[in-house]
Amino acid sequence: MTIAIIGGTGLTAIDRLTITHSEALETPYGTPSSAYVFGELDGKQLVFLARHGNPHRLPPHKINYRANIWGLKQLGVTEIIAVAAVGGITAAMGPAVIAIPDQLIDYSYGREHTFFADDLEHVTHIDFSYPYHQGLRQRILQAAQAINLDVVPTGTYACTQGPRLETAAEIRRLAQDGCDLVGMTGMPEAALARELEIPYANISVVANWGAGIESEEITMAEIEANLKTGMHNAINLLAQSIQLA
Ligand code: HPA
């Protein structure tokens, strides 16, 4: 088993990772966001990829999601845990909360979103009823219990296009649609992993309340401060999830 972590905003590198080596890959779909970093977290091996590059330079709509996921497949990765900074929409999703979403709605557009684009003789429709791998989600939830970390065990993740944050009305619409969390990078990443049959789950770390919920304005300073606490917990959760694998 080879586990990969994809780190998002606030998780460009894992400080506690003992790095053994890194590998820069090319794929038929182009260049991944950064080199794949191999290392050990509490004695367990993993591969780490910085979704926005290292240093953080790629906005959500410029990420080459296909290259990132293809590269992981090339490396023989058998499981992906994706970490993402999000805005909170429903009451349980306050700043610094960690949630393990079980559903998503994709509002992004214009992204290269499938590996099944060019072979027109063979049209493939993956099943995506449950976008996150249930067994992997359960393991993450068990890990949270084992380290006494409070997490919200379900939720619907909305993927917006960005890079701007939403309007207050957009957040009201997302709430009406049944969304609990909003981020910009969850798709097409989850679907591409499914296309390549790699079990994939998401750990969402709430950085701020969605637009219009609490404050007049969302600042980057607020986002960064909440992510500090949230990502510290997320790394502990990752480490324990890998221990249980
Ligand atoms: N909206 C979308 N993506 C985000 C947010 C948000 O409020 N906060 C962090 N990522």
* CA pair distance 9, 31, nearest whole angstrom: 19
Q: Is the dihedral of CA 170, 185, 5, 191 positive or negative?
A: positive
Q: According to DSSP H, which parts of the chain are helical?
A: 65-74, 134-146, 168-177, 189-195, 220-243
Structure tokens at 104: 């998503």
Kindly report, residue by residue over 152-176, the tens digit of the pLDDT: 999 999 999 999 999 999 999 999 9
**Pairing state between β 18-23 and 36-41:** antiparallel
The answer to whether 9 touches 227, Cβ cutoff 8 Å, is yes
The residues, any chain, with a CB within 8 Å of residue 211's CB and separated by 6 or more, are: 87, 165, 166, 167, 168, 170, 171, 218
Kindly report, residue by residue over 62-109, the tens digit of the pLDDT: 999 999 999 999 999 999 999 999 999 999 999 999 999 999 999 999
Which pLDDT band, with edges at 50, 70 and 90, does 122 fall under? confident
Residue 164: exposure state from Cβ atoms within 10 A (0-12, 13-18, ≥19): exposed
Q: What is the DSSP string of 43-70?
A: TEEEEEEETTTTTT---GGG--HHHHHH
| Residue 238 reports pLDDT greater than 90 | yes
Cβ–ligand 1 distance for 166 under 6 Å, the answer: yes
Q: In terms of CATH architecture, what is 3-116+126-243?
A: 3-Layer(aba) Sandwich (3.40)
| Residue 215 reports pLDDT greater than 90 | no
pLDDT, average across residues 130-151: 98
- Alpha-carbon Rg of the chain, whole angstroms? 17
Delimit the domains of the chain by residue range. 3-116+126-243
Cβ–ligand 1 distance for 207 under 6 Å, the answer: yes
Cα(145) to centroid of ligand 1, in Å? 27
Cα(78) to centroid of ligand 1, in Å? 28
Residue 160 CA, closest ligand 1 atom number? 2
